[in-house]
Amino acid sequence: MQRAASMPGTTTPRSIPCRGTSWSEPKARSRYLASLVAKHAKPDAVVFEIGCNVGMNLKALWDAGFRNLVGLELNPHAVEKFKVFYPEMAQSTTRVMVGSVEDTIPSFCDRQFDVVFTVRTLAHIHKESDWVMAEIARIAKDLLITIEVEEPQDWKHFSRNYQEIFERFGFRQVERPEAPAIPKMGLQTVVRVLRRPS
């Protein structure tokens, strides 16, 4: 299968800081994501992040009371850091897998996850892998949240309108909040909350 051009977290081991650095504490962007999930889903929801890096967003969800957490990350070094940064989560029911979205997502069951979310990840997926969007919709039972740059300004990222894409697969956009003015969010970031009609 065609692999993505890149995914967040495709850094070298040296570029991932050690325990005790600011990387291990959820930042404003992660806390914002957790508040958005909490607004639309119950704490017992099964939540899946595509491109979870060292797990900062998952940690913010954990801190907000979510316990059924699953992450997928391309970079094995980032997943090792997840285990170092968040040992309580790593030894719990939280599961973080190593792999590309193209190779991994077909193995999931239909509507396996109550919530599927991405944060600045989907723009890294090459246009040749657009079929992945249908798979994301297939595995999401109730909710999709995308926090993405939809019109990137460089050649290595790919433009998409995620409302248009996921509404083709039966979801409906229920919220389009303005991206908050917090670090690493950026003015070009588009936040979308889409729900599968019951």
Residue 189 falls inside a structural domain: yes
CA-to-CA distance for 31 and 29, rounded, in angstroms?
5
Claim: this prediction has a pTM higher than 0.75: yes
User: Where in 53-196 does DSSP place strands (E)?
Assistant: 68-73, 95-98, 113-119, 140-149, 172-175, 189-195
Residue 16 falls inside a structural domain: no
Residue 8 falls inside a structural domain: no
**pLDDT tens readout for residues 3-33:** 333 333 333 333 444 444 455 667 889 999 9
For the chain, give the mean pLDDT.
87
Confidence at 156, pLDDT banded by 50, 70, 90: confident
Query: What's the number of domains the chain is made of?
Result: 1
Q: Which range marks the domain in which residue 50 is found?
A: 23-195
**pLDDT tens readout for residues 62-106:** 999 999 999 999 999 999 999 999 999 999 999 999 999 999 999
- The CATH number linked to 185 is 3.40.50.150
Residue 27 falls inside a structural domain: yes
